[in-house]
Amino acid sequence: MRPHPLTPTQFLALLPYILPRSPAGRQIGDLKGRLNAIFHLACTTDPWHALPPEHGKPDTVSRYFRRLTHAGLWERLLEGIKENDPKHPLNEIAPLIFRACRRAIRLRGLRFIALIRRLGFLHALNGPPHKLPDPDLSEKLKRLRLPPPPATRKRITAYLGYLKALRHLHRMAGGIKHIPRRLRLGWC
């Protein structure tokens, strides 16, 4: 995906969600430029220090991204996309927001993954859904009660098959420990 600068209507759609001031209370200059930088880098696989000079200092942009992430911006944006009508300007930049969410997953953790899954925005996940943890499935498995083992030999094989299926579901609920880089980067 090729990044593109935000249009004025797209920026105005984002404005109610973003932090206009720093934690010290100072006004942040060039909000649109910082968001363009965040979305530019979200569309690439480059690290923050590879940000082009026209977007400003990489450490400033990455610090602002972390502040926005810890303030819950990406969660609010995803919920806003879900609630808005399809012609809303926020939906035009949904792919950019999904890309930025992929970078925010490392900071937000499992609850953020669960929210993305519940909202149905699987493109915002940083890998294929079957490779990532599924918190909802793990909660369902936790509540599941095992039946007592059967007494007859014929039913024991069916019971062992049931336990094997549960073990497989448990592994799926936890995801895989390390997703290979080429798989992560190849994920649409």
SS (H, E, C) 60-126: HHHHHHHHHHHCCHHHHHHHHHHHCCCCCHHHHCHHHHHHHHHHHHHHHCHHHHHHHHHHCCHHHCC
pLDDT digits (tens, 9 = 90+) for 100-141: 998 898 899 888 988 998 898 888 888 777 777 777 776 677
Tokens of 174: 């936890």
pLDDT digits (tens, 9 = 90+) for 70-87: 999 999 999 999 998 888
Q: Which pTM value belongs to this model? A: 0.76
Domain spans of the chain? 1-126, 128-188
